[in-house]
Structure 1
Amino acid sequence: MIESVEELPITDRDPAEMSNEELTAEWADVADATTRESLVGDEVHNTAHGRRKEIWDEMVSRVDAEPPECPRCRAQAWTQTPGEPKECTECWLTLGFEHEDLIEAIDEYWTTVQTLGGDLDLGGDQA
């Protein structure tokens, strides 16, 4: 349980100035905290998720890859709560077994970003 911002596994460094290794290490820590820990209070939740987005956006900027399009609305924005199906964040299409190729393409994109185009090994679970 994380009850204060000071307990979060994040730095205040500018992601654009971080090395690939520093960036992916902090990504792994903050992704773990936001998916596996109980974040207590709005400030802790908002700070953790805000930092996660900052880190993700910088990782996306360092790879030459595009997320796949939603077949319903053509958006390229996907989300997934652990243990739940992937969803489009624009039209909220929930992907099922009939979207197996799309699910695989999203996973490949996420892995590409998390490994900065394959330059780094995930070394375990994807976040």
Structure 2
Amino acid sequence: MVDTLNRLLDRISRRTSSKDDFISNAAHHLRNPVAGVLALAEAVENAPTPERAKGRSAELAQAACEASHLTDKLLPLERASGTDTRLSGRVLDFQHLIRQVGDAYVASAVTGHGGRYL
């Protein structure tokens, strides 16, 4: 029982450390794009002419898209770090699960059996 508890505490410790590392790394990678978006927002606000504001606005939209793309790339890494396939023996397919729930919801709405999704 002591060995089992020690293994559990070790897994919890490693998982916590992994999450801390991920958060630190993500914050580091997002700092510059967010700073760029903020700087461009200020440039739009302080533009001397409407034409300049429009140009800066386009740059701001592009910078926001790039920051969004970066977060889209980081999220799967975080999700993957939370999955320990050695313990479960399989990878969960969330897209398949979401499709199943959505299909069941649509079917229940069509048949009038609301509230029962699976």
Compute the TM-score of the two structures, normalised by the length of structure 2: 0.29
Q: Which has the higher contact order (CA 8 A, sep 6+)?
A: 1
The structure whose Rg is larger is: 2
Which of the two has greater helix per residue? 2
